[in-house]
Amino acid sequence: MNSQRAGLIAICAALVADQFSKTIVAMYVDRLSDGLPVFPGFNLTFLRNDGVTFGLLGDVPWWALTLIAFAVCGVLAVMLWRTTRCVEAVAYGLIIGGAFGNIVDRLRFGAVTDFLDFYVGNTHWPAFNIADVAIVSGAALLFVPEKFSRRAQT
């Protein structure tokens, strides 16, 4: 499989997984608004974040954050198109797909749906979603050394 195809599959997988999970969460918003304990240290919840990571930039209009995300996706798409490393293409694809998932939320709701709530004691990590997982996973994949990845055959 060439690297661009792998990247496109990663975009689609991240976007579909994110939007599907958010649709399921939205169906149970009444049960999740106060948090639903799953196991010690993890709740499902329902929040709308109008900022970015950790709620930063919450005072910036949603449309401005959306434009910035589109611009970043454009740059990453060029990088995806140019790479010959499959792992790198998948990494860019995960980041783009996750960003698109959050863009869809901003366009629909003016904010991003977050529902994964991890905590220790009374200290909660800021809630996040599958798009955020895809973005962080993609960024981590970019650190995979080239010796552990193979070049795509063109």
Report the percentage of the chain scoring pLDDT > 90: 63
What per-residue confidence (pLDDT) applies to 63? 74
Q: Which of 18, 105, 114, 117 is catalytic?
A: 114
**Element housing 37 (H / E):** strand 36-39
pLDDT in tens, 61-97: 767 778 888 999 999 999 999 998 999 999 999 999 9
For the chain, what are the domain ranges?
3-148
Nearest residue to 88 (alpha-carbon basis) of 40, 21, 138, 15:
138
Whole-number CA gyration radius for the chain? 17
**Element housing 94 (H / E):** helix 86-109
pLDDT in tens, 95-149: 999 999 999 998 999 889 999 999 999 898 889 999 999 999 999 999 877 666 5
Among this protein's residues, is 18 annotated catalytic? no
Rounded distance, CA 68 to CA 117, Å?
Answer: 26
Among this protein's residues, is 105 annotated catalytic? no
Q: Is the overall model pTM greater than 0.95, yes or no? A: no
pLDDT band at 53 (very low <50, low <70, confident <90, very high): low
